[in-house]
Chains A and B, each alone.
Chain A
Amino acid sequence: MGGFFKKIGEGILYIILLPVFVLVLVFFAIIGFFQVFIQMLVALVRFFQGRSLYDPFPEDIKAYNILKAQAEKGEIPPINQQHQNIGTVNIIHHYANTPGIENQPPVQGQIPAQGNPQQVTFNGDNNDLYSQLVGMQKAKPFDAEVKEESEDKK
């Protein structure tokens, strides 16, 4: 019964706030239209110049390079192998001082709690864990974009 009255209260609140929401929506719709229009013109010019429609952002390229460098050092497997499911990598873990994990035994596919750099084997079963650890699924599209960019410069 309490939930029902809460829902009625929320309904009254949403009805009162509806004009504000509509105003915000209209405001953003106008701003968004100009944003899209300007960017579309820029993209069209780039298209007719034979360049890619969007350049990757410098920050993304830097992030990509950092992740790639880590992969080349062997700290994480190379980006392009992320979907091959099999690979053995050395993880130098930085969590040795994390409270609460000291006594947990290392499990395959998890970061070990203590000790020297250890080998962790990633396979098809722990692919999600792998992507959580290195966040590489987000980085992959830029691989192609950066390649395109370097080809453009050539």
Chain B
Amino acid sequence: MNNVLISLSENDIRFIIVLLSIFILIFVLAGYIGFLVKRIMQGQAKKADSMMHDPVVTRVITNTKQFRRLARKKNNRYLLKSAWIPIVLILIGFLTHILFLSITSRWNYNLFDYKTTGISTLFFLWNFEDPTIYTNVFGLTVLSTWPDVLNTPHFEVDAIVSYIVVPLYSIGGLWYLYQIQAYISRTFRLWHLSKSVFEKSLEGFDGNQNPANQAPLPPSD
């Protein structure tokens, strides 16, 4: 180990430190993002409690099977109520896309092209495919210089359909995935509640302290 460290140049050691810092940063960031997702899902799962509150407190539902049956129906209905807008957005995008392609017969129309027809015309793009910008360090291929700018934002009339369709797809898709995440949260929460609500626990129960039980308990062995 010492021999390896001695054989490393100052630059190599710096590079390893930077690489290690980047990995640590990625892990910490992933930890915080995961924590955030977990908190959001916990918040979304609270809806499950209010869905099932009345039938449970009025004893209309008395067992796990009934609970799960009603919970599944309510969860599906709530998904419809919360996810119909993103689905309609995606459908509008899809219909627009298909209609345009069929009317113009341009079946090779690329929604993400950066030259003439795609949404990428609106963004900065760098040429990461240029092999001269990479170098090899300890078997790892890493960037050694900034890549050339491939595209600067510009408006293309031919890309108007992309400007309409791609936002519809992406907003609808993300919104739908958010609602699906809520659906998953509620599903797991309802599954947990279906067991816990009807569970009888003797944890912390003391027969001598129970006022309903007036007769003293027999002495234990």
Contacts and interface: CB of A to CB of B under 8 A. Distances in A.
A29 interface: yes
B161 interface: no
Interface residues of B, number: 42
Contacts of B2: none
B58 A66 contact: yes
Interface string B177-217: 10111011001000000000000000000000111100000
Given A8-B24, A29-B180, A99-B209, A63 B60 contact: yes
Interface string B72-85: 01101101100110
* Chain A interface helix/strand/loop/mixed: helix
Nearest to A12: B27
A47 B24 CA distance: 55
B54 interface: yes
A8 B180 contact: no
Contacts of B53: 135, 138
B31 A10 contact: yes
A152 interface: no
Given A36-B87, A63-B58, A10 B34 contact: yes
Interface in B73-102: 73-74, 76-77, 79-80, 83-84, 87
B211 A97 contact: yes
Nearest to B81: A54
A35 B76 contact: yes
B90 to A, nearest CB: 9
Nearest to B73: A57
Contact of B55 (A11, A33, A35, A59): A59
Q: What range describes how many residues of A lie at the interface? A: 35 or more
B61 interface: yes
A24 B184 CA distance: 9
A43 B35 contact: no
A52 to B, nearest CB: 13
Contact of A11 (B30, B57, B80): B30
Contact of A40 (B24, B66, B84): B84
A4 B58 CA distance: 47
Contacts of A37: 87
Given A11-B29, A59-B55, A135-B57, 7 more contacts: A11-B30, A28-B180, A32-B180, A33-B87, A35-B79, A36-B80, A57-B74
8 contacts: A7-B31, A9-B31, A15-B26, A32-B79, A40-B80, A60-B55, A99-B209, A99-B210
